[in-house]
Amino acid sequence: MTKALIALEDGTVFEGVSFGASGERLGEVVFNTSMSGYQEVITDPSYKGQIVTMTYPLIGNYGINKKDIESSGPKIEGFVVKEKSRIASNWRSEKGLDQYLKENDIIGVEGIDTRSLTLHIRTKGAMKGVISTIDLNPKSLINKAKDSPGLIGRDLVREVTCKKAYKAEAIFGARDRQQETRKKIIAMDFGIKYNILRCLSDAGCDVTVVPATTKAKDILSKKPDGVFLSNGPGDPSAVTYAIEEIKKLIGRKPIFGICLGHQLLGLAFGGKTFKLKFGHRGANHPVKDLRTGKIEITSQNHGFCVDPGSLNKNEIILTHINLNDNTLEGMAHKKLPVFSVQYHPESSPGPHDSRYLFKRFMESMK
């Protein structure tokens, strides 16, 4: 076993034991409260630039399999757990967590008090940090954390978006289809999760995924029935090129946005975004639909939020709020078929309460 340290920019240091790869990584230290789904977390592009702490104490007990990945591979900077399971027991398991992280050069740390780390972040806020197995000097690591770039003002979308356009079917194969009723969708890839593509396809969409830098004129030239704005990492205000193109798409085609796509749409509407203290990351966040009064238990992963007070109330209606802190979770244009949510209705893993949103997107294109 190799000693590992996690140092935060405020001078707090945690000591544990490494697994997976060795070395040193910088990132924003955050926590996720999900009890399962560690593989989806590890491969979610929205975690690019972050060292993720799982609050559930035992991680790795059902192993890793090819079908549950959310992208081409791990995107996190580091992975912190209380205890890594020594046994992977599941009929779908193909390899253990330790082996998977090692193969993908991701540093894992176990044996630290994850409750203490989580409480510290909840109190002080998510902060810059460093995880290391090679530099075990606390003072040195703290300075490295302080000097690291952080996420504010940083465009991480360019690091996770696809290099060229592709059909969603290339990821999971063809779905059951009725050609006469299916809709042609262009999905702007800011760090899209594979299960979003599955849900869009299952709802009746033929999806073409395009890079985040794709121009609006090129999207419109493909004559899609609708445009989807995906999730992704980093500060939405730094993705200026996408915001400008989304402005050109509003009013031209039905639009549906999730997570970062929601934030970028808010900025395209003329609103503002701000950074949350420690973000929303987990599979049990209560959200209220303001139009129906129904409560959805949702899966979430974001550190930034749209400021509802910055939106034009004559054009935009607030549709969903987070019941934990009353932050904005959904919005829609009053006249145009354009809407978005901050949370993840594709629920991978998590509750299925919000799957209706994909059907709503289909309805908006009729």
CATH 3.50.30.20 fits 2-147, yes or no: yes
What local confidence, expressed as pLDDT, does residue 175 receive? 62
This prediction's pTM: 0.96
What local confidence, expressed as pLDDT, does residue 350 receive? 83
Active site residue 346: yes
> Does residue 185 sit in helix, strand or coil?
strand
- Give CA–CA dist 185/225, Å, rounded: 6
- Give residues with Cβ within 8 angstroms of 314, minimum separation 6: 334
User: Are residues 262 and 341 in contact, defined by beta-carbon separation less than 8 angstroms?
Assistant: yes
Q: Where are the domains of the chain?
A: 2-147, 157-364
Q: Is the dihedral of CA 145, 146, 148, 152 positive or negative?
A: positive
User: Are residues 141 and 182 in contact, defined by beta-carbon separation less than 8 angstroms?
Assistant: no
pLDDT in tens, 82-141: 999 999 999 999 999 999 999 999 999 999 999 999 999 999 999 999 999 999 999 999
Architecture of domain 157-364: 3-Layer(aba) Sandwich (3.40)
What local confidence, expressed as pLDDT, does residue 117 receive? 98
Out of 199, 205, 259, 305, the active site residue is: 259
Active site residue 120: no
What local confidence, expressed as pLDDT, does residue 229 receive? 98
* Nearest Cα residue to 281 out of 55, 88, 17: 55
User: Are residues 106 and 5 in contact, defined by beta-carbon separation less than 8 angstroms?
Assistant: no
What local confidence, expressed as pLDDT, does residue 90 receive? 95
What does the buried/exposed string (b/e) look like for 273-304 if buried means 16 or more CB atoms within 10 Å of the residue's CB? bebbebbbbbbebebbbeeeeeebbbbbbbbb
Strand ranges (E), the chain: 2-8, 13-20, 24-32, 50-54, 58-59, 78-80, 83-84, 107-110, 127-132, 166-167, 183-189, 205-211, 226-229, 255-258, 273-289, 295-306, 316-322, 328-333, 338-341
Which residue ranges in the chain fall short of pLDDT 70?
A: 174-180
What local confidence, expressed as pLDDT, does residue 351 receive? 87
Cα angle: 262, vertex 193, 308; to 5 degrees: 15
Active site residue 352: no
Beta bridge partners, 24, equal 132
